[in-house]
A and B are shown apart, each in its own frame.
Chain A
């Protein structure tokens, strides 16, 4: 009888465990360092290539010769060792792992801090660094300290014009940037059961912004139906009635559209308090809000209108882009004056396309607004897809409730 993390890791909170890893993934950014460390270790083996993934998303396609050469090396390595590989344009690692790969109860590690996203499936999913990953490639195992858990009990349903993103920023604001350090977050309650898989992924995605090691939902009917769509048959997890280190309750009825004010993700304010702030760029996408439901919502809000500031929309995966083309939402987004980028991380980390200039302000649906992240001297406000749409249409920060 324990928390979901305790059940999956098989030991009580506070204990160190060596645990077999069910799935391990890196992207083009962290993969380079992982490969270097793996070569230095000299094992020469990949424990389980069929459960090891190299997924290109951070600078995809490559922006210059240095990046292209690093990517060529990783691509070749994946081919030689039979490692699961996703080419540029395939999509963001966390999104691809959520498209029928990660299953409830698994232990999943990614060489990216937002690997906690996959806790939405009732898996124990967390981020590790490159050297840890190199050892995991060789041995298929790693050590964990089983985390204590903060319970976030959700009730009610979200009001119209608010989204899981507003709820996510709200809980980050309440816990603070290190409020869940070394701990896991478990989302439960009637409010959690009413959330779609896409919403849950958004909520788990931001767990690391509180310092959390993981952000988990119990697999339920919603999870099973979602995975059935990918041909995966799974059964619900039954909460054990565990004890949390701390519990906070959030009534979804009380959520309002919010933004995180730079340079902190936990500096959360209602959009209504900041309306009219000049915005130079709007960015819709990322592992937080680049899923089909996000793009569909955005398209519905801008269809038949024209955006007043440059607006970049980046689908989180190739299959989302393909679906969006088929359904017509990509056409609506382009007709509204937006540019659609190739699936991947886009401008989120300021490494290539969509970088902002000095003194410029971006309203982004991503998860980080740290100083200079999207470009030197630029500022990032984080908000929902609805806030992004209202802001793009108005040219200034705008509450979606008033749109």
Chain B
């Protein structure tokens, strides 16, 4: 499974409160979460998310378990997220909503093309190939299905 897009660099310890603020949670309108993603960090980020690969520092998605954070990024058209480590609930949520996540420690330059190969386990950016942790076959299966709901429907 392969993802690619322009790099959008973010710092470490991005919490789910800044991905989507608590004040926007009480709705089923998924587009609303996409529009307000990262609003409290920088309102200029949301318009850049479509087709981007987020390349962040360690511990991405820490804090609240709100799945709206992963949904917001998927709805916004983020191709995937590359970070040296993820907070575990966000990591699981991302896979469950069909948002590719790649554990890889790579330097980031904004707008550079990023390619990540999830099964083979590497990320290519700016002419160099950096090893990434491979996802389990089950996780790849869920991502390929588009998320746990569709994976579950297909297997029951």
Contact residue among A37, A143, A181, A349 (Cβ-Cβ distance under 8 Å from B64): A349
A131 touches B96 (CB 8 A): yes
B17 touches A370 (CB 8 A): yes
A371 on the B face (CB < 8 A): yes
A66 touches B27 (CB 8 A): yes
Contact residue among B28, B62, B65, B88 (Cβ-Cβ distance under 8 Å from A111): B65
A201 on the B face (CB < 8 A): no
- B46-72 vs A, CB cutoff 8 Å, 1 = contact: the mask equals 000000000000110011111110110
B92 touches A213 (CB 8 A): no
B22 touches A131 (CB 8 A): no
**Complex-state Cα separation, A351 to B88, whole angstroms:** 24
A371 touches B87 (CB 8 A): no
Contact residue among B15, B59, B136 (Cβ-Cβ distance under 8 Å from A181): B59
- B82-109 vs A, CB cutoff 8 Å, 1 = contact: the mask equals 0001011100110011000000000000
What is the minimal beta-carbon distance from A184 to any residue of chain B, in angstroms?
A: 11
Residues of chain B lying within 8 A (CB to CB) of residue A349:
17, 22, 64
B17 touches A371 (CB 8 A): yes
A29 on the B face (CB < 8 A): yes
Residues of chain A lying within 8 A (CB to CB) of residue B68:
33
Contact residue among B17, B26, B62, B136 (Cβ-Cβ distance under 8 Å from A178): B62
Q: Known contacts A41-B149, A66-B26, A129-B70; is A177 also within 8 Å of B40 by CB?
A: no
Among residues of A, the one whose C-beta sits closest to the C-beta of B58 is: A178
B21 touches A30 (CB 8 A): no
B147 on the A face (CB < 8 A): yes
Residues of chain B lying within 8 A (CB to CB) of residue A36:
28
Among residues of B, the one whose C-beta sits closest to the C-beta of A111 is: B65
A37 touches B18 (CB 8 A): no
A94 on the B face (CB < 8 A): no
A350 on the B face (CB < 8 A): yes
**Complex-state Cα separation, A291 to B111, whole angstroms:** 49
Contact residue among A29, A131, A213 (Cβ-Cβ distance under 8 Å from B93): A131
Contact residue among B26, B28, B70, B152 (Cβ-Cβ distance under 8 Å from A135): B152
B149 touches A134 (CB 8 A): yes
Within 8 A of A (CB), among B22-49: 22-23, 25-28, 40-41
- A365-402 vs B, CB cutoff 8 Å, 1 = contact: the mask equals 00010111100100000000000000000000000000
Residues of chain A lying within 8 A (CB to CB) of residue B4:
none
**Complex-state Cα separation, A177 to B65, whole angstroms:** 15
Q: Known contacts A129-B70, A129-B96; is A373 also within 8 Å of B26 by CB?
A: no
What is the minimal beta-carbon distance from A47 to any residue of chain B, in angstroms?
A: 13
A78 on the B face (CB < 8 A): no
Among residues of B, the one whose C-beta sits closest to the C-beta of A181 is: B85
- B120-156 vs A, CB cutoff 8 Å, 1 = contact: the mask equals 0000000000000000101000000001110011001
Q: Known contacts A66-B26, A178-B59; is A30 also within 8 Å of B40 by CB?
A: no
Within 8 A of B (CB), among A181-209: 181-182
Residues of chain A lying within 8 A (CB to CB) of residue B117:
none
B13 on the A face (CB < 8 A): yes
Contact residue among B15, B22, B40, B136 (Cβ-Cβ distance under 8 Å from A351): B22
A264 on the B face (CB < 8 A): yes
A211 touches B59 (CB 8 A): yes
Residues of chain B lying within 8 A (CB to CB) of residue A264:
13
What is the minimal beta-carbon distance from A74 to any residue of chain B, in angstroms?
A: 12
A112 touches B65 (CB 8 A): yes
Residues of chain A lying within 8 A (CB to CB) of residue B93:
129-132
Q: Known contacts A178-B87, A181-B85; is A128 also within 8 Å of B92 by CB?
A: yes
Contact residue among B13, B21, B26, B70 (Cβ-Cβ distance under 8 Å from A372): B21
- A20-64 vs B, CB cutoff 8 Å, 1 = contact: the mask equals 000000000110110011001111000000000000000100000
What is the minimal beta-carbon distance from A215 to any residue of chain B, in angstroms?
A: 14
B148 touches A128 (CB 8 A): no
**Complex-state Cα separation, A130 to B68, whole angstroms:** 9
Residues of chain A lying within 8 A (CB to CB) of residue B152:
41, 135, 138
What is the minimal beta-carbon distance from A50 to any residue of chain B, in angstroms?
A: 23
A211 touches B88 (CB 8 A): yes
Among residues of B, the one whose C-beta sits closest to the C-beta of A368 is: B63
A3 on the B face (CB < 8 A): no
What is the minimal beta-carbon distance from A11 to any residue of chain B, in angstroms?
A: 16
Residues of chain B lying within 8 A (CB to CB) of residue A131:
67, 93, 96-97, 147-149
Residues of chain B lying within 8 A (CB to CB) of residue A134:
148-149
Chosen A-B contacts, 11 in total, with CB atoms closer than 8 Å, are A29-B66, A32-B26, A33-B68, A41-B152, A113-B64, A128-B65, A129-B70, A131-B147, A178-B87, A372-B17, A373-B22
Top 8 nearest A-B pairs by Cβ distance?
A129-B93, A178-B59, A131-B96, A129-B67, A113-B65, A370-B17, A349-B22, A372-B40
Given A135-B148, A178-B85, output 17 extra A-B contacts at Cβ < 8 Å: A32-B28, A33-B67, A37-B148, A70-B26, A70-B27, A113-B89, A115-B65, A127-B65, A131-B93, A131-B96, A132-B92, A143-B138, A349-B17, A368-B17, A368-B63, A372-B17, A373-B17
